[in-house]
Every structure is written in C-alpha cells, then in structure tokens.
Amino acid sequence: MDEYRKSIPPISTARVGLSASLQSRENGEREFSFSVADFERVRKLIYQHAGISLSPVKQDMVYSRLARRLRATGMQSFAQYLDALENKGGDEWERFVNSLTTNLTSFFREPHHFPIFAEHLRKLGTKRAVRVWCSAASTGEEPYSIAMTVAETFGSNVSHISITASDLDTNVLATAQKGVYPIERVEKLSQERLQKFFLRGTGSQEGYVSVRPELRRMIDFQRINLLDSTYSVRGPLDIIFCRNVMIYFDKPTQYKILSRFAPMMQPDGLMFAGHSESFLHASDLFRSLGKTVYALASAR
C-alpha cells in the first residue's frame, strides 16, 4: 500500500419475436451459432444454479457475455459449451454464473437508507455485539458505505460491530476485498468522507483511490450463494442489506430466501431492500416500515 500514502485532495417478448431476433443474428452476423434452444438452456441452467430468472429479452446480453467463455475455452458453439458445462463443468460453473450476473452499484446508493441504518445502530448501542450482513456486496461500494456509516456513528469504538459482505460472483468479491477504485467512483462523496476513509494513489496507482486499511478490516468478505442450503454468515443478525438482488429471482425463489433470512434475525432486526423490490407476497415473514425497510412480521 506504499502507493496510497496521500490523503484525498478536493475532487472537483414473445417467443416468436425471440426466435426471429435470434435467427436474424445467425445469418452471418454472429461468431457463434446461438439458437432459441441454446438460450432456453442457458435460462434453465442459471436458474437451477443461481436462482436467477432471465427475461426472454436478455438474449443479446447472454450471447455477448457467454461468447467470451466460448473463446476462452475454445468451444465452437453454444451447444458444445453447454454440453461440456453440464457433463464436467467444474470451475467453469463459477465462470458461467459470474458471466451472467449484473453488478451495478455505487457508494451510498439509495442514500435514504443510511440515516435509518445509523439511527438503528444508535438504538442498539455498544453494550452487545451487533451483526450486519450485506448479502449482495458486488464490487464493495455498498459494504464500505455500511462501514463508513458505522464509523461515523460510533467513531473508533466499533469493536462490537461485525460486518459480513457476500456475493455470488467471485470476480467482484476480489475487487471488493482490494478496496481500490478509479477516482471517478468517489467523486460524489463529501470531502470529509474522502479525507477520512480513502487514500490517493501515486505512481502507477495515479488516478485511483484505496479504502483505508482500518475500514477494510471492519468487513469479512465471503462468497455466499443465496440458494445454498446453509449460509456461513453468523446470526442472530441485527441488519440485513439485501438490495437490488431479489429483482433477479422469481417470487417463489424470493420467498424461499426470505424464509431463510427471517429465523436468522434478531426480533428487532431490520432488512433493507432495493427501491424496486416489494415483498408483499412474504407478508407472513416481513412487514414494510416504508422506504423499502422491513421488519419481521412477528415483531409488532
């Protein structure tokens, strides 16, 4: 970390349509043949392995992302690649899932959640251990935003707080663990936060910033698939951030995951969801407090 010594200076739809769409791209326009059957097979496999429900309109995205895997593995067609994946996938299953997951994030995204989070932390106080789980960590901006909020709430007295940050995608987790970002990623943060929580890169790292080591040490990064039968994260949990990931699951899969979350939470625990997510279909498990914040249905 010798190249991060300086503090931050001021930083100024229908199946017929799908078939026609795919066929039009097969007439010499695509490197690999990609049939409707190939696409439906990909949809089935990603659902089985990651619970992700791909929309029928995602065929172009699927082709562009998996074509890279065909080139990397030397496969000549999607059918050949998918056959090899199913017969002896091994580590390729991880790369397959990584290729099809979407990771859109930013520091303090959906900022209305963080004052609510801070207030709940103050309510919990410092007399007992407090456990936080960020279940869709992506490249790390969300868990570091959580850690910054914890530090701003309790100062240096954070030993009672544990933060687990997890994701399905091992590539983005590696980025999160490093905590190094292009300087443009932090442009919207206040100067106070930049000075307090980041170091500026020099030399070969010019144009990058690094999260300060003391902030990184607050977070335990783990790979967790929300469809797994058991989770490595420890409970009981006081706060779960599960934002903008449920939108990739169908309602039965969402309910299955939420039914796993509920018994892991403290009676007064909070769950934060994404702005476009609603769990009315799981009202027996969680009740809305407004602003996409949920409490256990049993906590009245």
Which residues are marked as active site? 65, 167
Give the right CATH number for 113-296 from 3.50.50.60, 3.30.1180.20, 3.40.50.150, 3.40.190.10.
Answer: 3.40.50.150
Query: What residues of the chain score a pLDDT lower than 50?
Result: 1, 8-28
**113-296 matches 15-100 in CATH topology:** no
Residue 299: the pLDDT is 78
In DSSP notation, the chain reads -TT--EEPPP----HHHHHHHHHHHHTTTSSS---HHHHHHHHHHHHHHH-----GGGHHHHHHHHHHHHHHHT-SSHHHHHHHHHHH-TTHHHHHHHHH------TTSSTTHHHHHHHHHHHH-SSS-EEEEES--TTTHHHHHHHHHHHHHHTT--TTEEEEEEES-HHHHHHHHHTEEEGGGGTTS-HHHHHHHEEE--GGGTTEEEE-HHHHTTEEEEE--TTSSS-SS-SSEEEEEE-SSGGGS-HHHHHHHHHHHGGGEEEEEEEEE-TT---GGGTTTEEEEETTEEEETT--
Residue 4: the pLDDT is 59
Domain locations along the chain: 15-100, 113-296
Residue 15: the pLDDT is 41
> What's the CATH class of domain 15-100?
mainly alpha
Residue 28: the pLDDT is 47
